[in-house]
Structure 1
Amino acid sequence: MSSSPIYKVIFVNQGQTYEIYAKAVESSLIYGFIEVEQLLFGERSNVVVDPSEEKLKAEFDGVQKTFIPMHAVIRIDQVSQQGNAKISDHKGSNVVTHLPFPAGKPNRPE
């Protein structure tokens, strides 16, 4: 395994499944979010170009750190090698369930 860990983050965004690779993933100070930074993409020198990865490169161009809602994350893995980042149609039969908010009395005048 390399000295610097690589993380594969799979999450759902607007009906599509995103698979991205990054060098740093951690809990955010913003409640309910995961911080993902130092995104990794394949080399541009490859002869075969994956349009899905090119779309991701364009979408995250100039992004230093992205915040992903916890309820959208499907899986985070530490991997030994970087794979191809991709976007695919979400084919899961289960619906992403939102985290419940703390129940409290609303402040209503009585």
Structure 2
Amino acid sequence: MAKSLYKITFHNHGKVYELYARSVAGSSLWGFTEVADLVFDVHDGLVIDPTEERLRDEFGGTRVLHLPMQSIIRIEEVEKKGQAVIRDAATGEKVVTPFPLPAKPR
């Protein structure tokens, strides 16, 4: 039997984050939800999603994430992993780090 996979949507610093994890439970810290075993895509090719990389940089070394209950929008148990995203909380648009452009010569 396959392990459960959860999609966690929560507010963080004016943005809405969507992460995937294998474990979600009540935390021993009052008012928090414990999210563990975060799941990120493993990229072997040249195409890399900058949002996924940003989330991996921010949460890659995290063993357990304790989220305040009031910041959680939704927790869904899903069949397969989708794209992890960061959205602007006001507009709902994806927050994408622009590709660096070369500087213009003066």
Q: Residue 27 of structure 1 corresponds to which residue in structure 2?
A: 26
**Post-superposition offset of 1:33:** 0.4
Query: Identity, % of aligned pairs?
Result: 40
The answer to whether the Cα contact below 8 Å between 1:41 and 1:84 also exists between their aligned partners in 2 is no
Q: How many pairs does the alignment contain? A: 92
Alignment of 1:17-96 (within 5 A): 17-91=16-90
Cα distance in 1 for residues equivalent to 2:6 and 2:68:
17
What is the identity, as a one-letter code, of the residue corresponding to 1:43? V
TM-score (norm 2): 0.80
Cα distance in 2 for residues equivalent to 1:72 and 1:59:
18
**Post-superposition offset of 1:3:** 1.7
TM-score (norm 1): 0.78
RMSD value, Cα = 1.6
Unaligned runs of 5+ in 1: 93-110
Q: Residue 108 of structure 1 corresponds to which residue in structure 2?
A: none
Cα distance in 2 for residues equivalent to 1:3 and 1:45:
24
Cα distance in 2 for residues equivalent to 1:11 and 1:20:
9
**Post-superposition offset of 1:43:** 1.5
Cα distance in 2 for residues equivalent to 1:37 and 1:60:
11
Select the structure of larger CA radius of gyration.
1
**Post-superposition offset of 1:61:** 2.2
Q: Residue 8 of structure 2 corresponds to which residue in structure 1?
A: 9
1:51-85 Cα distance to aligned partner (Å, 9 max, x none) = 11110000012111110000000000000001111
Q: Secondary structure at the match of 1:55?
A: helix
What is the identity, as a one-letter code, of the residue corresponding to 1:73? I
The answer to whether the Cα contact below 8 Å between 1:7 and 1:25 also exists between their aligned partners in 2 is yes
What is the identity, as a one-letter code, of the residue corresponding to 2:42? E
1:63-108 Cα distance to aligned partner (Å, 9 max, x none) = 111100000000000000011111111137xxxxxxxxxxxxxxxx
